Amino acid sequence: MSNNVSLHRVLKASPEKVYRAFTEANAIASWLPPYGFICTVHEMNVKAGGTFRMSFTNFSTGNSHSFGGNYLELKPNEFLKYSDKFDDPNLPGEMITTVSLQKNIAGTTIKITQEGIPAVIPAEMCYLGWQESLEKLAKLVEPEIPDA
């Protein structure tokens, strides 16, 4: 049985700004972890064949889990596809995440599919985590703050 999630949102920001949120280490660390977690980006080489490594730390307990993967396909401001897997052997398998960005009248339509989620992680919990992450992503990319 496959353990997958699919998400769809419309963000009031340009595809360029949304793409930057996925490809800049400080940006992704600010929005990717669900509420209550801190993200540390250890490595991020954003290019086809490039690798990344991150860890999420539970702010309440201090426990963390690390993961990493490879960028499989990139089309700036339009598309990202990457693999990732947890370092914990109790969370086996490789996940593939696909992110599509399409300009629309309001800003950007974003579609995310994550496939191959380890069986011990309920898809519903992963979906809820992504919901929180996308809420944080919107708060990062939607404000238009002029230079002062």
Domain borders along the chain are 5-34+74-141
Task: Enter the pTM of the model.
Answer: 0.93
**Residue 130 near residue 5 (C-beta atoms within 8 A):** yes
Return the minimum-mean-pLDDT range out of 1-5, 13-17, 20-24, 114-118: 1-5
CATH number, domain 5-34+74-141: 3.30.530.20
Q: What is the pLDDT of residues 30-62, one digit of tens each?
A: 999 989 999 999 999 999 999 999 999 999 999
pLDDT classification of 3: cutoffs 50, 70, 90: confident
Q: What is the pLDDT of residues 127-138, one digit of tens each?
A: 999 999 999 999
Indicate whether 92 pLDDT > 90.
Answer: no
